[in-house]
Amino acid sequence: MVTRTSLTTPLGDEVLSLHAGDQVLLSGIVYTARDEAHLMMKESGIPFDPVGAAIYHCGPVIKDARILAAGPTTSARLNALTGFLLDRGVRALIGKGGMGAEVARALIGRGVYLSCTGGCAVLAASKMSLKGVYFEELGMAEAIWIIELDSLPLVVGIDSHGNDLFADIALGANKQFHRTFT
Amino acid sequence: MVLPEDDPLFRALSAATCRAFREAVTTLPQDVVEALRSAAMREPSALAKNELKNILDNIAIAEQRALPLCQDTGVPVVYLTVPSHVPFTDTLICAVGEGVRRATREIPLRPNVVSPLKRENSGDNTGPGMPIVHVRPGSCLSVTVLPKGAGAENMSRLAMLLPTEREKIPRFVAETMLIAGGRPCPPVILGVGIGGTFDGCAALAKEALLLPIDTMDPFEQELCDAVNALGIGPMGLGGKTTALAVKVRMAACHTASLPVAVNVQCWAARHCTVEVTW
């Protein structure tokens, strides 16, 4: 039986006790943000309280103020745009595919990267309710949607101790590749 | 532009296009579902099994509720077959565009199409050059849609190999997934184009994604095994299943060229063909 740690936002030091590979059920408010929203926040400020916040790399399908589909987008696109959020107190990044070494370093002693199963958009939406929106002018995919989660299942991909599950797997893949093709 | 809305052919093709998108984004082809099921049984690791379970649960809920199974409903890639008695005119292309706009409103699809530099969103998934429409002769009028998400598309690559570098093809295919890692939502399907020209090779790679994945020839199996040996696994969290299948399409090419393209497709390998009657 797999044990899952339940967490609720805003997050605090409890994220520091998580380890890469742990399974988590996350509840509470999260904020979606993709490329354009990150740029906008960097230029004109973060429209929510970033302390203890969780950022969800996601551009949902919304119809009549309801979330129909809301799986994660590829987090690595935001590698260079994430540091300022962690500096302001953001504790969790949620997305798919992992993030770069600079983000893994920036998470040490501060927060975690949580992996959400890519493409599982209706499964994710079934655990969500829409609470509001910032930067709606950026369009459906790029706006910051305020979403309340009810026990969304996630995996700790990068912990606050410098462990990165994705980097470990990539290292193994790289070794195997060079064994086969050199 | 005035749309020929009174033209029965226009109405039938735009309705069929919309229907094909609805079916494609809510229901995965059976061969893909079967491949995911058998992967879930083969995976030894608990994390990998759990990712595949989430995927299978998601597929079931999406089908049951008739909702897009992934929020990235992609950009519209469309293939038409046109029989000899149907004149190939702008009406066909306009009808496909209208079908995309209707699908975007009604299903709905996420409006993903933007101008490339200004990044202005048209709001309806159409724009200059979008939808992409490929036309072939055929025995009946049919529309095939392949809504293509960006996570996997962004990881696709093309190489102009030397004619003497045939043995580098498996390396290039495996290297594409090595670079991609968990980003394109593995387990993926890889469409591989070999031959043709620079542009034609990329088109072959995409068309390979329309082939059924329940069989692979020995060369496709060799490529698939090389990718799966990397151990990237479902969502990049490690495991045996990085690719569900590799499918290859070839065309003749210049004696001095060996183009190779790899089009990466996420597990949500959505496509659907609808025959148009009017």
d(CA A64, CA A128): 15
- CA–CA separation, A125 and A114 (whole Å): 17
* Residue B223: other Cβ atoms inside 10 A: 24
Contact state of B119 with A121 under an 8 Å Cβ cutoff: no
* Chain A stretch 14-33, residues whose beta carbon is closer than 8 A to a beta carbon of chain B: 21, 23
Residues 73-92 of A with CB under 8 A from B: 73-74, 76
Q: Which residues of A touch B183 (CB under 8 A)?
A: 74, 76, 96-98
Query: β-pairing, B77-82 with A54-56?
Result: unpaired
Interface test with A, best of B171, B237, B242, B244 (most A CBs within 10 A): B237
The beta-carbon neighbor of B58 closest among A2, A119, A172 is A119
Instruction: Work out the burial of residue B8: count CB atoms within 10 Å of its CB; fewer than 13 is exposed, 13-18 middle, 19 or more buried.
Output: exposed
pLDDT above 60: residue A1: no
Residue B105 CB partners (closer than 8 Å, separation 6+) = B124
Find the helix or strand (DSSP H, E) in which B25 lies.
helix B8-26
Contact present, B170 and A176 (Cβ < 8 Å): no
Candidates A63, A121, A169; nearest CB to B70: A121
User: pTM value?
Assistant: 0.95
The full set of domain ranges for chain B reads: 8-26+69-147, 150-265
- The residue of chain A nearest to residue B225, with distances taken between CA atoms, is A180
Q: How crowded is residue A46: how many other Cβ atoms within 10 Å of its Cβ?
A: 21
Nearest to A173 among B62, B185, B230 (CB): B230
Confidence at residue B1, expressed as pLDDT on a 0 to 100 scale: 64
Task: Write the pLDDT tens digit of every residue in B34-71.
Answer: 999 999 999 999 999 999 999 999 999 999 999 999 99
Contact of B103 with B17, CB cutoff 8 Å: yes
**Encoding tokens for residue A60?**
């949902």
Cross-sheet strand order for the sheet of B188-196: B157-161, B258-265, B188-196, B243-253
Cβ pair A96:B151 closer than 8 A: yes
Instruction: Report the mean per-residue pLDDT for chain B.
Output: 97
Q: Is the pLDDT of residue B169 over 90?
A: yes
- Mark out the alpha helices in A113-158 (DSSP H runs): 121-125
Interface confidence, given as ipTM, is 0.94
* SS3 of residue B168 by DSSP: helix
Quick: pLDDT tens for B185-222.
999 999 999 999 999 999 999 999 999 999 999 999 99
CB-CB under 8 Å, B67 with A68: yes
Walk me through the domains of chain A, giving residue ranges and CATH numbers: 4-181 (3.20.130.10)
Which of A68, A74, A78 is the best residue to mutate to test the B interface, defined by the most B CB atoms within 10 Å of its own CB?
A74
Chain B nearest CA to A142, separation (Å): 10
Nearest CA in chain A to B57: A123
Q: Rounded to 5 degrees, what are φ and ψ at B128? A: -55, 125
CB contact under 8 A, A155 and B178: no
- What is the rounded distance in angstroms from the CA atom of residue A29 to the CA atom of residue A40? 20
- Report pLDDT digits (tens) over A116-160: 999 999 999 999 999 999 999 999 999 999 999 999 999 999 999
Average pLDDT score over residue span A88-93: 98
Closest residue on chain A to B154 (Cα): A74
Q: Which residues does chain A have within 8 Å of residue B121's beta carbon, measured at their own beta carbons? A: 139, 141
Dist CA B161 CA A76 (whole Å): 29
Contact between B247 and B211 (Cβ < 8 Å):
yes
> Looking at residue A182, what is its pLDDT?
80
Closest approach of chain B CAs to the CA of A90, in angstroms?
23
Residue A114 contacts B where some CB pair is shorter than 8 Å? no
| Nearest neighbour of B70 by CB, restricted to A21, A71, A174 | A71
Cβ contact (<8 Å) for B184 and A97?
yes
Write out pLDDT tens, residues A2-31: 679 999 999 999 999 999 999 999 999 999
CA dist., res. A120 & res. A70, Å (int): 8
